[in-house]
Structure 1
């Protein structure tokens, strides 16, 4: 079983190593690319992930083997765009999105009003509700997708975000119609993808198409 783990904004491959180590112990072969998700819109990063996917496929996979994908935050949007654009869809198994702003981020909307900020940190601009409204996502690919949201945080940003949230992303933004399963866990945005409970849900979804309930 092979898994590509995709980190989020202003992070690098090391941010997904804890989850990768757990999944490796469960028998997965893990790949953690280091992506430029700080100064680039997330949708222009997709070609880099597809190149990795192509390399994994060409390196040899079993006749019934699929490549699973898991992404934290912006990494989940990269996965959704990959599913829309890739020519390797038949090789992709199940996908899990963790703390992903599928409907946009209220904080990104606020940041976009700060002069010059999103001109430098272009990834943030691509997380705004206005930007995402213009990104084409194909939701009927036949790939089973599960999403995990957090609803706990001590971050100062929390009062600025309406409704339940993980300190950065609203729970309502993580959910979108068409998901195979959806789970809310009591963790913040910066910790949810480092928690063993989260790892167990990811593993279970890859194996069965549902989280632990």
Structure 2
């Protein structure tokens, strides 16, 4: 099947909130001085969520086995949510705005026709991080939420997604990542406790080994 045929068969989401999309992209056209910074941020900004998860892991080393389990579960929960989003993306098959609304203003380059729009993968990662950190550290989760809002806005600003793509990713990622973290906290805590007594101990706890031996 040709790329053109693939694009024709894909779902056109412009009828949902195309006017809101063009309002944001018109704003992008009127703020061209922001185009490059936000285009860079929309991709590299995902690193912020990785940093927040690392911060959560570092803090968990001083908070016990259960906290460490949740910290280790965070990236697993994010990957799980992202994988689910990719499945939904293939099922829905929503064509990108650059193909449905080619006359709008776009900062980002138009991806391949088979790279569908709904839900937003970037926003899925952002929202999943918020949920995954919620059980570990509410402050880090709140910080992640602020950056998630920025990430979602930039996805529309650069023209990569409709607003409903971003909203859909949030509605999908939050429960999946939260439930994945909750399940792993319950099922994996004994495993993390066992690993904490072995060679991985320095990565899993800040408690000195001497103190543990003395306690025994």
When Rg is computed on C-alpha atoms for both structures, the one with the higher figure is 2
Higher relative contact order (Cα pairs below 8 Å, separated by 6+ residues): 2
Same fold (TM over 0.5): no
TM-score norm. by structure 2 comes to 0.27
With normalisation by structure 1, the TM-score equals 0.27
Q: Which has the higher strand share?
A: 1
